[in-house]
Every structure is written in structure tokens, then in C-alpha cells.
Amino acid sequence: MRDPQLATAAGLIGLLVAVAVLGPVLWDQDAVGIDLGATLQAPSWAHPMGTDDLGRDVFARFMSGARISLTIGLVAVLAGSVIGGAIGLLAGALSGAIDLVSMRVMDAILAFPPLILAMAVTVGLGAGLTSAAIGIVLTSIPFYARLTRADVVRIRSANYIEAAGTLGATRMRVICRHIVPNAIVSVPILAAANFGYVILTLAALGFVGLGAQIPTPEWGAMITQGQEVMLTGAWWIGVFPGLGLLIAVTATSILADRVRDLLDPSGRRAGGALSVKETAP
């Protein structure tokens, strides 16, 4: 393990997870309760990240924000990869009309810059964390679907599949035993790279008012809230959640990069199609 960058990234992610899981247990301050007697206090021992304009402890809100970002990030990546992967598998394995229709739908989704489509979904479904997550999942699906489909098509044309066919294996058996296990190998690589994009987009939607709503302590929404009072000198409200985002996204993309190098040294598979580097807002 002579990779300081990787070690740092892994350590920071561990720290964030610890904060998200253990934070509320160890730190008993309220993340949403208003205390007008303690507004806009600078960081101190009692409030390591200060308090906001309504007297809420920013540290407690920061930790809740970590939980929200990491949980939704995880759920959205899982949902996107499962749905997208399934569409890709079906389209590739069954080909024909299903393939054609599903790929045209994927094209339509890809016609939007990702953030813009996520905005459309949240506007339609009504602003909130759930609609934001649905919007983000929707924008992720085509990347998984295209990747898996391409893998299935490639594997189907490989010699050993044809050999299995000529040996009398049924189509279903070939698909389940040979194609599926080989085609889903690239999905985790893409998923790892996708994680940073998800939490960054979630925060972006929160920032423009389409994601988490007041008083939910989501990081993006906290930055919006901090924006109002920041120029009067209360920098801590917006700075800490942004720092959390920066660490979470950067660390996971470094980790994803190394995972990809490890699982796929040739860079042939996922190729980072949906990593932060190409689709971040």
C-alpha cells in the first residue's frame, strides 16, 4: 500500500462514514431545533462549526447532512445500476424491438445535460429529496444500460458463447450462465465512479431549491442558507458543508479511479463514462 493519495482518500471516506453513522449518537445537539438565543456564533468548543442564523448547531447539521448525502448516494447508485443494468441486459440479450425501444429512450435521456434533466424531474414531481433522487437515478440509468448492453453484445459474439450454443445449450441457459455473469463485471466500476456525481448533483439541486427543503440539513441547501449571511462575516455556515461535499466527492472519485485500475487495467470497460469527471454539474 504505497499510494498516499489512495490512503488519504480511503481514510477521509472512513471518517465521513463514521461521522454519518456515529455522529448523532455521540453529539446530542439538535440539527433542526431553533435557538434564537444563540444565533450566528463563531466556531467554539460548544459549537465546533458555529451556529447558524437560527441558532442551530452547524456541526450537528453537518453530520446529518453527511448521513443524507451518503445514504441517498448509496441508494441512488444502487437503484441506477440495478435498473440500468437490467435494461442493458434485456436489450442486449433479447435484441429486436425491446432493444430498439429501450435504446431510443436512453438516447432521449442523454439528450439532456444531466443536471437539466434532473431539474425537469424535480420540477415535475415537486421539489424535495425524493424527487431529486429520482431525477438523479433517471439521468444515471442510460450509462449503465449502454455499458451493459455493449458488454452483452460483445460477449454474445464471442467464440465460447457460440460454442455453447452449438453444444445444445438453451438460449436462456446461455444467457444466465455465460452472458450475465460476464456482463455485470463492469457495473461496479461504473457505480463507484458514479457515486460522486450523485452526491454532487443532489447538493446542486438542493442549492437551487429543488432538492432538500427547509429545514432539512442537506449540504447543498445548507450552502444556500449560508450564502445569505456569509458576506456579513458568518462564513462557517456555508464553508463546512461545502468542505464535506468536496471531501466526499474527491475521495470517492480517487477511490473509484484506483478500483478501476485494479479491476480493469486496460481501461477498456467502464472508462468512467458516468464518473464525476464527465457529468458533474
Partner 1 sequence: MTARIFGRVAGSIGALFGASVLAFVFLRLAPSDPARLIVGEFAPEEAVEAQRRALGLHENIVVQYYRYMRDFLTGDWGFSYSTGTPVSSAIEARLPATIELSLYAFVLAFAAALILALLATYRRRPVVDGALRTVSFIGLGTPPFWLGLLLLVTLSGTGLFPGPEGRLQPDVAAPPNVTSLYTVDAVLAGQWHTLGDALWHMTLPAITLGLVPFAFLVRLLRANLLEVAREPFITFARSKGLSRWTAFRRHALPNAILPTVTAGGLVFAHLLAGSVLVERVFAWPGVGSLVVGGILQQDFAVVQAFILLGAASYVAMNAVVDVLYSAIDPRTRGGQGLQG
Residue in 234, 280, 242 with CA at minimum distance from that of residue 54:
234
Q: Please identify, using beta-carbon distances, which residue of 82 and 120 lies nearer to partner 1.
A: 120
Q: Please identify, using beta-carbon distances, which residue of 69 and 148 lies nearer to partner 1.
A: 69
Return d(Cα 35, Cα 56) in angstroms, integer.
Answer: 6
Q: Please identify, using beta-carbon distances, which residue of 93 and 240 lies nearer to partner 1.
A: 240
Per CB under 8 A, contacts with partner 1 among 101-120 are: 104-105, 107-117, 119-120
Q: Each residue of 85-120: b (16+ CB within 10 Å) or e?
A: bebbbbbbbeeeeebeebbeebeebeeeebbebbbe
Name the minimum Å distance from CB 33 to partner 1.
Answer: 25
Return d(Cα 123, Cα 112) in angstroms, integer.
Answer: 15
Per CB under 8 A, contacts with partner 1 among 3-42 are: 5
Q: Please identify, using beta-carbon distances, which residue of 172 and 231 lies nearer to partner 1.
A: 231
DSSP 3: -
Name the minimum Å distance from CB 112 to partner 1.
Answer: 5
CA angle (15, 245, 202) in 5-degree steps: 125
124 makes contact with partner 1 (CB under 8 A): yes
196 makes contact with partner 1 (CB under 8 A): yes
2 makes contact with partner 1 (CB under 8 A): no
Assign residue 159 a region: left if phi > 0, alpha if psi is -120 to 50, beta otherwise? alpha
The residue from 209, 213, 215, 264 that contacts partner 1 (CB under 8 A) is 209
Contact 162, 178 (CB under 8 A): no
Return d(Cα 193, Cα 280) in angstroms, integer.
Answer: 11
Return d(Cα 172, Cα 185) in angstroms, integer.
Answer: 19
Question: Candidates 35-43, 64-72, 73-81, 208-216 — which segment interacts with partner 1 by CB under 8 A?
Answer: 208-216
185 makes contact with partner 1 (CB under 8 A): no
The residue from 31, 93, 221, 249 that contacts partner 1 (CB under 8 A) is 249
Binding interface with partner 1 (CB under 8 A): 5, 104-105, 107-117, 119-121, 123-127, 196, 200, 203-204, 207-210, 220, 223, 226-227, 230-231, 235, 238-239, 241-242, 245-251, 253-254, 257, 276-281
